[in-house]
Structure 1
Amino acid sequence: MTYFEWVPELDTGISVIDNQHKRIVEYINILDQAVREKDVSAVAEVVEQLTDYTVTHFTFEEELMQKHGYPYLDAHRKVHQAFTERVQNYKKRIDQGEDVSRQLLSDLRIWLTNHIKRDDKDYVEICNKIDHGWVSKAVSRLFGT
């Protein structure tokens, strides 16, 4: 059984964003597997990868919003920053030997679901006229693909 299933209600309609969100869901499921296997080193490694990928995703998303003149970019950026700090706090606690992995998993799933359904859905209408040339360059620059 998969810990976090992608459901259509999470689709924003912007495929590049949806694909990035799906990758974050994959990381969460990999983290769940490491937690169930009680593989402490794998948990730490996945949390590191998840954190790095999420920060890169946030940067991409914020650049997309800025390019399209999203009026609530600063507020959205603050939500991203607060979440990043929260995950980094979990990472520190894990690095110090505290077992907060189940709490982190729950927090990640709830936060991501709510963030996509509320915060991210707000910018879709403004940003759905995507300049695919810009998207390709930004994806390549940020994600190395």
Structure 2
Amino acid sequence: MTLHWTSDLEIGIPVIDAQHQRIVEYINRVDHAHRTHESAEVLNVLDELVDYTLSHFAFEETLMEEAGYPFAKAHKKVHQLFARRIDNFQQQAKAGEDITEELIHVLKAWLVNHIKRDDNDYSDLVRANLEGATKRVKARKEGWLSRLFG
């Protein structure tokens, strides 16, 4: 069953929301490959999903740390545990086990729960930090331009 992106999964940080949407697309590609009995494609998409998700985690963790999110270490630990769990699924799949249905169920449930709970917890602080950084950059540019053309 396809996972649909809905507005209740948005945390209000466009770059993170776009990354989450891409993860949903990967999950749906794994599901499609499974339903069409394309075992090799399941493994390929799973590899892509893992690579993309790990870089998403690193990006998200950097944003949390830069914003001073007090639970960044705990959030990172949640990411590490999930990555280990998915690595186990990958190893089983590469060994020829059909773990796809369980994997898809875990991916969907984990992602929705993680976004709605864990990611929503940091969203206000990170969003405020990003907005502040944008204002500071804009002020520096305006200051430079006004001095140049003032």
- Please say whether Structure 1 and Structure 2 have the same fold, judged by a TM-score greater than 0.5: yes
Stretches of 4+ aligned residues off by more than 2 angstroms: none
**What is the CA–CA distance in structure 1 between the aligned matches of 2:81 and 2:134, rounded to whole Å?**
30
Deviations 1:3-37 (A, max 9, x none): 10001110000000000000000000111110011
Counterpart amino acid of 2:25?
Answer: E
Q: Deviations over 1:27-61 (max 9, x none)?
A: 00111110011111000000000000000000000
CA shift, 1:125, in A, is 1.1
Partner of 2:125: 126
Rounded to whole Å, the distance in 2 between the matches of 1:15 and 1:132 is 14
Q: Residue 101 of structure 1: CA displacement?
A: 0.3
Q: Percent identity?
A: 45
Q: Distance in 2 between matches of 1:126 and 1:8?
A: 20
Q: Counterpart of 1:87 in structure 2: which amino acid?
A: I
Aligned to 2:10: 11
Residue equivalent to 2:23? 24
Q: Where does residue 35 of structure 1 map in the other structure?
A: 34
Long gaps (5+) in structure 2: 136-150
Report the equivalent of 1:46.
Answer: 45
Q: Which whole-Å deviations, capped at 9, do the CAs of 1:86-108 have from their partners, x for residues lacking one?
A: 00000000000000001000100
Distance 1:76 1:125 in 2: 15
Offset of residue 74 of structure 1: 0.5
1:1-145 alignment, distance < 5 Å: 3-129=2-128, 130=130, 131=133
TM-score by length of 1: 0.89
CA distance, structure 1, for counterparts of residue 90 and residue 23 of structure 2: 16
Q: Rg larger in 1 or in 2?
A: 2
Q: Secondary structure at the match of 2:61?
A: helix
Of Structure 1 and Structure 2, the greater helix share is in 2
TM-score, length-normalised on structure 2? 0.86
Distance change >3 Å, CA 3–CA 59, structure 1 → 2: same
What's the secondary structure of 1:128's corresponding residue? helix
Which structure 1 residue ranges, 5 or more long, are not aligned? 134-145
